[in-house]
Structure 1
Amino acid sequence: MNNTKDFAKSSWIALVLIVLLNSCGSAVKSTPPPLRSQAEVVSVGQDKVEDSVEKKLENVKIGDAQAYYYYQLAVLSLASGNIEEAVDSFYNAIKLDDKSPFLHTELGKALARKGDLSKAKEACEKALGLDPSYLPARTLLAAVYSGLNEKEEAIKEYEKIIELNPREVQPYILLASLYKERKEYDKALGVLNRWIGRHQNSEVGFYHMGQIYLEMKDYEQAARSFEKAIEENGDFIQGYSALGALYENQKQYQKAAETYERALKVLGDDPRVLDRLLRIYTQLKDYNKALAYAEKLKDMSPEDEEIDVDIGVIYYESKQYGEAEKLFRGYLDEHPENIEVRAYLAATLEENQKYDEALKEWEKVLEQDPKSFDTRIRIGMLLSEQGKHDQAIKMFEKTLELFPDRIRSYILLGASYNQAKRYEEGLQVLQKGLAVNEKDPALLATLNFHIGVSLERLGRFEEALTTFKKVVELDDKHSNAHNYIGYMLAEKGIRLDEALVEIQKALELEPDNGAYIDSLGWVYYQKGMIDEAIRELERAVSLIDDDPVIHEHLGDAYTKKGLFQKAVSAYEKSMKLKPENEEQVQKKLEEARVKLKSQITTHTTGR
C-alpha cells in the first residue's frame, strides 16, 4: 500500500466533509475555524452531520415523495455511520428523481466519505450537468479533484466558484492552499490579496497570508501579516496565537510574552494563554511573573495537580528548593509512577545538598527506567562528587556496557578512574573511546582532555602536552586545556613565555577562575616576578581557600620575598588541607620557621 498517497487522499476526503457541511451561500465569517488535526477534522465533520439531521429534513425540498423518503433514510444512515446504506438510499432516491442536482451532490458527499472519489466526481458532474451554477456540487467537485491529485482541475473549479460567489471566503482560502501545496507562493498570495482587496474586515486573508510567509521562512512578513490580521479585528484570537507562536519559535520570548498579554486583554484569563505565559516567563527567568500566571491557573483549576508541578518547576528554577521539594513530594504521594516529577525531586534534593536523599530518588528513577543513560550519569556523578569513587566506577562500567557506542560512556568511566587515581585504567578506557564514530568536536575535545590528564598523572609529559594541544585544536575555547598546557610548562620551568600566553587565554575565557589565577601566579613566580606572583596568588586564595596547592604556592612566593611570617601561615594552611606532597610541604614549613626565627633574632639583636 502507498501510505503517502492514502494519507493525502484521506486528508482531502476530510476536507470535502468540512467544506460541504457548511452552506456555500452563507454570509462571510469574521474568523476562521481554529486549526485542527486531520483526525479532529473528520470528527468535527461527523458531529456536524449528526447534529444537523433534523435541520436537513426540514429544509430539503424534493419533488417526489418516494425519493424524499429514501433521502431521509440516507441522512439517518449517515448519522449512524452506515455509509454503505446511505449510498444505496441515495441511489434509490435518484432513480425516482434523477433531475435533482441536490440529490446527485448528496450522493457525491456520501461517496467521498466512503473514499470512492472517482464515483463522487461522476455524481458532481451529473449535478452540474443539470445546473452549472449549483455551488455545493462545484465546491465538492473542486475538493474531489484535489483528493484525486488533479490539482489543475481543482484550481479551475475554485476560480469558477469565486466567480459565481465572490463574497464567500472559503474558496479563496482553499485555492490559496492549493497553490501553497505546489510551492507557488506568489499565486497563493495573489489569491488572498484578491479577497483582501474586495472585502473589509479581511483578518482571515491576512492570517492565511502569514501562514504562507511562515512556510516561505519569511518570518518578518509573517509577523506583519499576523499583526495586520489583529489590526483588522482586535478580537481575532488566531492572529494572536499565530504571532505568539512565531515569536516563540524564533526564540523572541519577550515579544511572544507581549503578544500573549495583548491576547489576555481580549480574552480575559484564558487558560491556554496563561499557560503559554507561564512557560515563556520561566524561559526568560522572570520567575515572579511565571509564578503569578501559574497561581492564576491554580485559582481557576484548584484540583489540577499538574499546575502544582509547574509551580514546583518555577520554584526549582528560581532556587527555592525547599518549596519545590514540598510540591514534588506532594504530587508523588498521589502519582508515584511519574518518572519526570521524581527526576525533578532528585535534582532538587541534589541542589539542596541532600545528597543521600537525592541518590535514593535517582535510584527510584533508574528502577523505573533501567536503560536511562542520563539517570546513570546523574547517579555516577553524584557518587563521584561525594568521593564514592568505587561506586561511581561500577555505575559507569555498567553504563559503558549498556551504551558502548556513546563517547560519553568512555569519558565518564575514564574520568572516574582518574579521580580514583587509577590513571592507567583510566587511560585504557579513554583511548578505547577514540574508536567511537563521533563527529562532535566538543565531545572529542573532552575525551582527549581526560586522556591528557591520565598521561600527565602518569608522568608522560610530552605525550600529555601533545594531547592537550590537540584539545585546543578541536576546541580553542577549552579553557581547562589552555590552563593545563601553561601550568605544565610552568611546573617544569620551561618555555615560560608560551606558558604565560596559554594561561592568559584560559583567563580570557574564565577571568575569575581561581585555579587559572593560581597558574598565572606560578608562571610569574617561575619567571622571577615575585611581586606579581604574590598579587595573583593572594587573589587565587581569596577565590579558592580550600586548595592546599595554592596555599603552598603562596608560601613559596612569600619565602622568596623574605616574608617568612606570611610564608609560615600559608604553609600551615596547606598542611591543614592535607596536600598530596605532605612531607615536602612540612619541610618547607620547618625551613620557613627557622628563617623566621633567624629573622626575628637578627631584628632583635641588630646583628
Structure 2
Amino acid sequence: MLALSPRWRAATRHALVAALLAAGAVQAQTVPAPPAAAASAPPVNSTLDAPLFYQLLVGEIELRSGQAGTAYQVLLDAARRSRDEQLFRRAVEIALQARAGDQALTAAKAWNTALPESAEALRYQIQLLMAMNRQAEVAEPLRTLLAQTPVVEQPGMIASMPRFFQRAPDRKQVVELFEQILPPYLDAVGTRSAARVALGRAWLAAGDAPRALTLARRAQVDDPTLPGPALLALELLPGQPDAQRIVENYLQQPKAEPAVRLAYVRVLSGAQRYADAVAQLEIVTRAQPEVAAPWLTLGALHLELRHPQQAQEALERFVALRQAAPPPDAAKAPEVHDPSVIETDEDPATAGEDGDLVQAWLLLAQVAEQRGDLQAAEAWLSKADSPQRALEVQARRAMLVARQGRVAEARAMIRATPERQPDDARAKVLAESHMLRELKLWREAHEVLAAANVRQPDDVTLLYEQAMMAEKVGRTDEMEQLLRRVIDLKPDHAHAYNALGYSLADRNQRLPEARDLIAKALSLSPGDPFITDSLGWVEYRLGNRAEALRLLRAAFSARPDPEIATHLGEVLWSQGEQEEARRLWREAQARDADNEVLRETLARLKVDL
C-alpha cells in the first residue's frame, strides 16, 4: 500500500531543480511544439496554469522525498482536474513503482472515466486486473476496448488479445472470457479469422492443442492470405503434425510474408529436419538475394548436412553482403504483420555489430576442416577475434592441431583457455571431450567426463555425454545407469530415453522395453528424425519390416543422415531391394566414409560398394 502522508517534506535545492525540470518535461509532452510547417497557425494556449504547475511541482518533490502516497494523490487530483492523459499515466506509474496495485487500478479507472475514448486507459485497466488475478472483472473493459477500436484496426487488436493474458494463472478461465467476448467478431467477415486465431491461442495455452488446430484450420478457410493461422500452426508444431499443412497452404500464397517462412525454418531446424529447412531457405534467398541473414542460416544447415560446397557458397555470400552493409539486416528484415508475434532476445554470444560475421567465419573454418583443408580453416579462424567466443575459437584451433597428430598439445590449448564466465570450466570439459570423441579417442573422452562428473555429479549434460562414451568403451551397464540417472534428474530428456532404447535395440536385447523407451522419447520430441530412426530400427529388430520401412523412410526424408541411410538400406536389403540399398549406402559413404555404423553394416552383410 502507498504511505498516504499529507506532510510537507523540505526539499534540497537540487531536488527542487529536478522537480522543476520534471514538471517542464510533463508540460512539454502535454503540449507539443507545433511543426515548422505550421508556424503561421494561431498559437495554442497551454492548459498549464499556475495552480496546476504548483500541484505538479509539489507532486514531483513529494515523490523525490520518498512520499509516493502523497505524490500519487496530488498527481491523480491534477489529472482529474486537467483531464490530461499524460498525468493519469504518471499517477498509474507512481502506484506501480510503489507496488500498490489497488491505487494503480483506481487511477486507471479514473482515467477511463475522465477520458472514456482512451484505448490506453482500458489497456492499463485490463492488464492491472489480470496482474491482480481479477479475471472476472476483465470482460467489460475488454469488450469496450474492442468496440471502441476502429473497424480496420479490430483484427490487429483481436490478434493482440492473448498478450494480455500470458501470465494468467487460470488458462481455462481465459478461454471462457474469450468465448464470452469474441462471438460477434467470429461472425464478422473482417475479424473472424483473427478471432479464431486468438481463441486458438487461448485453447493452446490451456493445453487443448487439437481444438487450437481446428480453429487454425477454420481461420485459414476464412482468409487464406492472412499469416495468423500459419503462425498459430507453427506454435502447434511438432506436437500436431497436421498443422504443417496449414503452414504450407499459407506459404503457397503469392504474397506470403517471408518472416513466416523463416519462422518455419526455425521450427524445422529445431526438429532436425534440416533438408526441409534448406528447401525453405532456398526459396527465401531466391526471392530476396540481397538480404544477408538467411544466407548465414543456409550455410549452417548445409554444413550440418555435410554439403561443404553449398555451405561455403552460402557463407561467403553472407560475408560479402554483410561486409558491404555493416549494420545488420534489421532495417530490411521482413516483419510479420501480426501483433501477436512476440520477439525474442538475440543470443548475447553473437550480439553486437560483428557477432554474425564471427559466426560465419567459425562456420567457414568448419567447412574447410570438413574438406580436410586445415590451412584454410586456420585462416578463417584468424578472422574470428571475439572475446565472447574465445573458447569456441580456441577449441576449433585445438581440433586443427589434434588432426595433425598433436593431441596432447591440443588438449593443453583448451585447458589453458582463460575462464571468463562462470560456466566456462564446464564448457572446456565439453570442448575437450567433443574433440576426443571426433578423433574416436573414446577412452580418453570418457576419462575427461568421468572426472568432471565427480566434481559436478548432477550435471545432466555431463552425465549424458559420459553415458555415450561409456557405451563406446563397452561399459553398457555404466551407460544404462548413467542414462537412468539423467532421466531421474530430467524426466523430459528425450535423448536419454532414445539413447537407452536404441542401445538395447542395437544389441537385440529387451526389445519391448526398448520400443517403450523410444516411443516415450518420440512423445517428448515429436518428429525428431533420429528418434524416428531408432523406432524404425527397433521395429526391424522385432520383425515388423513394413512398419520399420515406413518409419525409416520418414526419418531419412526429414534428415538424410548417413546413419539413418544405413539403417534404411539394411531393411531394404533384407527385403531384396538391393539396388536401392546400395544407392543409399554409396550416398552415405560419399558424405561420411568413416561412419562407424555404415562400415560395420557393410562388413557384417559382406557388401562391397
TM-score (norm 1): 0.50
Give 1 or 2 for the bigger CA radius of gyration: 1
Larger helix fraction of residues: 1
Q: Tell me which of the two structures has the higher relative contact order, counting C-alpha pairs closer than 8 angstroms and 6 or more residues apart.
A: 2
